Structure 1
């Protein structure tokens, strides 16, 4: 047997792979704690990197460009802390205080509906199935409302229990931005020379598509949030800032986002005054029409190139795997996979 450099290279790669797998398995609990802030830092660095690059073009050192961006973000955060955040915090505290009252009101509403359903018993036998269907769906709605309130409360407390993670994210993001070229060179050098140009070409296409989609969606979400707050204040709905914030954030999710964002507003309006719920539905419908017809085409531009059926399917899969976070990243990941498959097929055809 002849052992040349190629055999030694493959053996070394395999040996390092096995050692790395053993290391990751033994320290998997620690890695799962460190991984989330690291991934969020990479995402934020990816979103902020074009702004840093734009500032660096004016012969400003990169570290100063990063500090300028951080200063601007800190200014925005402080502005929100002194304007929007107090109102949202106040509304959140009031909502927590009113949850028992709203639960009682919801129970009374359900009892009134059940008393109306009892009258269905006097209908002909052919309509007995109608009573059973209505009763079953009402029970489902009741269970959904209880779980929805529980999930919101759990999410609020989870934010405070992960303060260390929140502190690490800006630190990691700073170094990723400052040393972006260093990390980029290291990643490129790790790629095999034979497929390096192809991988770089694929990465550029994914970057062009995903960056446009993510940044556009964030701008659209902010616009929807502001419009929602204005509409809810006009209708005089309680917790307008909190509901508007939820509507803006959920709008990042295609198709399902507008529905998720409108549910809290409709529920609060229904418990306050049933007629207001109709106005809330009309307001959210108009806002979504403005968003889909005017705002999104101008800001986001072309779609990610996925058929609506495929988008819905990947959103369902993302929700089943990782919940809301899975739905947020489902479309960009699916679009990236599509680009990779396209390049692979193109290369096979060429060869």
Structure 2
């Protein structure tokens, strides 16, 4: 217990020292910038004393205001850049809350049609979500928690098996490579180097997965804030909509409203449809893995369902954990897992996707892949999940801009 307290105390002290260093850095940068501005200002004034009137640098009130606003803007940019990590950590819960509010909002609107106030509609939905969470907490969540714990306990053993597998390959083929002619002497070095890189990559991947999982639990404050923000976004939707529209200049307000309507129409069915399809794929994957007696079936099924939201790459990402676990158990099981996931994806693409999601977002596959690559590189998993909706929204905005330019 004392060790845990000492670790937490050290973590808090380390974080406070980090913030102190950041704020000191910001303060010093601003001081240096202001010192540079005032130096230029006084050099201009001193220079004006020694030149004729027509050659003096004159600054009227308008230019002084512009310069002052520019200085304030530059200072704000410096502050945002230096404090970007803190700002991002604050904005992430708000962005997730906006996404959840957008998904739940149609249900609130339907309840309002039955003469139930918006506040009570949101409260009833929240009670329903809490009840569902309670049901899951006594049925599914303990099983998933047990599987995560079991996976964490067996992960070192799996890692050792993987390393041993590659070592066996290296030992098995080392003699054959060693007997190659001298012209191919570089093949042995390249082969061993390639195997070492694969081992390092797998170990680093496992470490990253573990660290990401721990980071989720370390950001508990942000996780708690998401439902609170979502509640207020749902309850006061009209207020936020009204304030946002007032912030838009009247000249382009009508165009902004039309763009918003088109984006909402485009994403409305797509996002909710994708979530339903992902849930069905997760359920089918879990059932298939349970039938094949694969360990951690519920956890792998959940991963397959979530990954299915990502176009093209999602099914492959979702299948990898199941195939890997099956391969470490019995190689023949891995083949059956591949067959099962392939069959589920055929059902998803031929039946579920057309019936539930309907038409695509109107993007060519090349642009979908590019948006996924860019989103994944910039924002990781979140970027992969939101890349296609964002790209589709950008397409809508660009189409409207073209229409406005043609109209002008």
Q: State the structure with bigger RCO (CA 8 A, min sep 6), 1 or 2.
A: 1
Change (3 A) 1:263 1:144: farther
Q: How far did residue 136 of structure 1 move?
A: 5.3
Change (3 A) 1:120 1:349: farther
Query: Equivalent residue of 2:100, what SS?
Result: helix
> In the alignment, does 2:315 pair up with 1:270?
no
Alpha-carbon distance in 2 for matches of 1:196, 1:12: 28
CA RMSD in angstroms comes to 2.6
Change (3 A) 1:342 1:51: same
Aligned to 1:38: 94
Aligned to 2:59: none
TM-score (norm: length of structure 1): 0.89
Pick one of 288, 292, 303 that aligns with 1:246: 303
Alpha-carbon distance in 1 for matches of 2:193, 2:390: 37
Question: 5 Å matches for 1:309-328?
Answer: 309-328=366-385
Q: How far did residue 142 of structure 1 move?
A: 2.5
Question: 5 Å matches for 1:198-209?
Answer: 198-209=255-266
Alpha-carbon distance in 1 for matches of 2:117, 2:164: 64
Q: How far did residue 87 of structure 1 move?
A: 0.7
Deviates more, 1:204-213 or 1:175-184: 204-213
Aligned to 1:4: none
Q: How far did residue 119 of structure 1 move?
A: 4.5
Deviation by residue 1:41-92 (Cα, 9 ceiling, x = unmatched):
1111111111100111100011010011111111121111111111111011
Aligned to 2:148: 92
Aligned to 1:177: 234
Aligned to 2:291: 234
Aligned to 1:284: 341
Aligned to 2:312: 255
Unaligned runs of 5+ in 2: 1-63
Alpha-carbon distance in 2 for matches of 1:329, 1:350: 32
Question: 5 Å matches for 1:92-241?
Answer: 92-121=148-177, 122=179, 135=192, 137-241=194-298
Query: Equivalent residue of 1:198, what SS?
Result: helix
Query: Equivalent residue of 2:380, what SS?
Result: helix
Alpha-carbon distance in 2 for matches of 1:264, 1:112: 22
Q: How far did residue 202 of structure 1 move?
A: 0.4
Deviation by residue 1:273-295 (Cα, 9 ceiling, x = unmatched):
11111111111111111111111
Q: How far did residue 145 of structure 1 move?
A: 2.2
Q: How far did residue 212 of structure 1 move?
A: 1.8
Deviation by residue 1:213-236 (Cα, 9 ceiling, x = unmatched):
211111111111111111111111
Alpha-carbon distance in 2 for matches of 1:13, 1:287: 62
Alpha-carbon distance in 2 for matches of 1:294, 1:180: 35
Deviation by residue 1:315-347 (Cα, 9 ceiling, x = unmatched):
111111111111111111111111111111122
> In the alignment, does 2:136 pair up with 1:83?
no
CA contact (8 A) 1:117 1:131 kept: no
Alpha-carbon distance in 2 for matches of 1:160, 1:236: 30
Change (3 A) 1:309 1:140: farther
Pick one of 123, 144, 168 that aligns with 1:67: 123
> In the alignment, does 2:107 pair up with 1:51?
yes
Alpha-carbon distance in 2 for matches of 1:287, 1:132: 42
- What is the number of residues matched between the two proteins? 341
Alpha-carbon distance in 1 for matches of 2:78, 2:275: 36
CA contact (8 A) 1:229 1:241 kept: yes
Aligned to 1:350: 407
Alpha-carbon distance in 2 for matches of 1:338, 1:140: 40
Pick one of 283, 302, 305 that aligns with 2:362: 305
Unaligned runs of 5+ in 1: 1-10
Larger radius of gyration: 2
